[in-house]
Amino acid sequence: MNIKFNCIIAGIAGQGTSLISHVIGEAALAHGHDVCGSDTSGLSRQGCDVVSHLRLGQHVNSPLIPQGKAHLLIALDPAEAVRYHSFLSAAGRLLVLDRAAEGGEKYDPAEMLEFLSSYMTRPSTERYARKYEGRWFEIIDTASLVEKCGSPAFLNVALLGAAAEKKFLPLGPDDILATLKKQVPAEALEAHIRAFDAGRGLAE
C-alpha cells in the first residue's frame, strides 16, 4: 500500500469502536503495512463520544488524521457522523447507522441523516473520477441489522463486515475475518462471526 489510507471510527462509549480499529490495524500489519492510530476510548465515560483515528500505508508517522483527509468514516451513531464528517476527503466514504446509540445523547436521528445525505451527495469531481457510482454513502437500517446479529452489542462487527464487503477498506473481508478470529475470545467468536457475516450480507 503505497498511498496512505485514513479511517475514522466514531461512536458512543460502549459500542466497540476500539475493537473495529484494532482488528483493521492488526489485519494491515499482517500484510506488511505500517499502522498508526489513536483513540479516545480510554478517556471516555458511558454515553460520551469516542473516536479512533487509524492510518495505514508505508511510512505513516502521525497518528492523527487531518481535516479533509479521511478516506472512510464508520459511524455507529448519526450524531457522531455529523460531528466528524469534516474529516472526510472530497472522495471520502461514509457508513452510518440510522439509529441513535442507546445511552447516548437524545436527539432526532432523522435531522442528522438529512444533513449527512445532503452533504454526502453534493457534487464531487473526485468521486466521479473514481467512478464510485453512489457507493460512497450508506445508511444502515439498525433494527434490521440487530435482528440479523442477535444483539445491538455486535453492531460494530457488523459494520466492519459491511465496510470490508463493500470494498470501503483496502483489505478484503477474508483478511479482516481471519484477524477477528484471533482477537475475539473463543466463547464469543460464533456471535462475532455471525454479526460480521450479517454485515457482509448488506452488500448483496
Question: Residue 164 — very low, low, confident or very high, per pLDDT cuts 50/70/90?
Answer: very high
pLDDT at position 135, please? 75
Give the whole-angstrom CA distance, residue 108 versus residue 78: 9
pLDDT at 77 over 80: yes
pLDDT at position 1, please? 46
pLDDT at position 47, please? 64
pLDDT tens per residue across span 100-159: 988 777 899 999 999 999 999 876 676 655 655 557 899 999 999 999 998 999 999 999
pLDDT at position 46, please? 61
pLDDT tens per residue across span 20-45: 999 999 999 998 888 988 886 545 55
Q: Map out the domains of the chain with their CATH numbers.
A: 5-100+117-201 (3.40.920.10)
Give the whole-angstrom CA distance, residue 57 versus residue 46: 33
pLDDT at position 59, please? 76
Listed range (56-60, 70-74, 178-182) with the worst mean pLDDT: 56-60
C-alpha cell, 160 = 466492519
pLDDT at 85 over 80: yes
Q: Which pTM does this prediction carry?
A: 0.90
Count CB atoms within 10 A of the CB of residue 201: 14
35 strand-pairing partners: 56
Count CB atoms within 10 A of the CB of residue 150: 12
pLDDT at 180 over 70: yes
Percent of the chain predicted with pLDDT > 90: 68
| pLDDT average, residue stretch 175-199 | 95
